[in-house]
């Protein structure tokens, strides 16, 4: 079910890490086909390890969660649900993003996601704006976005561009070729 921008449901945005329910976040990762691994094979993303997800959220400089009323309003309590104020407790987690930082000079943005049925309504842009606002309020202006080739257009439309130093992000990951000695790098 696609929703038009004019009929976007009411949303609340939270930067409070305690508002992140890890089970709902794991479901959001799955719904958005996002893996906890940057270098992954094509196809369906493997499920995110809840223990690693908890650590990632806890160690993030800032997290942004977006909640809306449950999209399925056919349930018997839907009327009562609509009458209650929208909170992170009764809302559905529909978007998320996080940033890591050294708390002084640089930051990197990770895992910006919105459930497919609510994409193209400006929710991803709201998440990114909130992340940037929190980072720049702490005088952090060197902000990188870790994104794949499919996300480059989105980040470009939100003001991100190529690095002035023309640097390239490089990733280290354990693989069968470098795992011969229990993942230790031999120099």
Tell me which residue of 38, 174, 37 sits closest to 182, measured CA to CA: 174
Helix (H) or strand (E) segment spanning residue 69: none
**pLDDT at residue number 150:** 82
Residue 179 lies in a domain: no
Distance of alpha carbon 58 from alpha carbon 154, whole angstroms:
26
Residue 3 lies in a domain: no
Residue 99 lies in a domain: yes
Residue 56 lies in a domain: yes
Mean model confidence pLDDT for the chain: 82
Residue 50 lies in a domain: yes
Residue 174 lies in a domain: no
Mean pLDDT of 40-48: 68
Confidence of residue 146 (pLDDT cuts 50, 70, 90): confident
**pLDDT at residue number 83:** 59
Residue 15 lies in a domain: yes
Count of domains in the chain?
1
User: Is there a contact between 46 and 40 (Cβ–Cβ < 8 Å)?
Assistant: yes
Tell me which residue of 21, 16, 118 sits closest to 60, measured CA to CA: 16
Residue 54 lies in a domain: yes
Percent pLDDT > 70 in the chain is: 73
Query: For 117-140, what is each residue's pLDDT tens digit?
Result: 999 999 999 999 999 999 999 999
**pLDDT at residue number 47:** 80
| Pair of tokens at residue 87 | 């909170």
Query: For 29-38, what is each residue's pLDDT tens digit?
Result: 999 988 766 5
Range of the structural domain that residue 96 is part of: 11-158
What CATH number does residue 124 fall under? 3.40.630.30
| Pair of tokens at residue 138 | 């702490």
**pLDDT at residue number 183:** 53
Among 5-19, 65-79, 156-170, the minimum mean pLDDT is found in: 65-79
Per DSSP, the three-state class of 55 is: helix
């Amino acid at each position: 079910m696609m929703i038009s921008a004019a009929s976007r449901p009411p949303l609340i945005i939270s930067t409070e890490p305690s508002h992140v329910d890890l089970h709902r976040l794991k479901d959001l990762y799955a719904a958005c086909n996002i893996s906890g691994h940057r270098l992954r094979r094509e196809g369906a993303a493997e499920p995110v390890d809840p223990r690693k997800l908890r650590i990632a959220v806890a160690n993030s400089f800032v997290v942004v969660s977006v909640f809306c009323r449950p999209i399925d309003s056919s349930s018997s309590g839907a009327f009562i649900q609509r009458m209650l104020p929208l909170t992170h407790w009764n809302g559905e987690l529909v978007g998320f993003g996080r940033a890591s930082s050294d708390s002084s000079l640089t930051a990197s943005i990770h895992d910006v996601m919105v459930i497919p049925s609510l994409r193209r309504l400006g929710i991803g842009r709201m998440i990114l704006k909130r992340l940037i606002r929190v980072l720049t309020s702490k005088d952090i202006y060197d902000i990188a976005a870790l994104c794949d080739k499919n996300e480059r257009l989105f980040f470009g439309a939100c003001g991100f561009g190529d690095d002035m130093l023309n640097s390239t992000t490089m990733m280290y990951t354990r693989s069968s070729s470098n795992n011969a000695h229990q993942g230790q790098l031999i120099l």
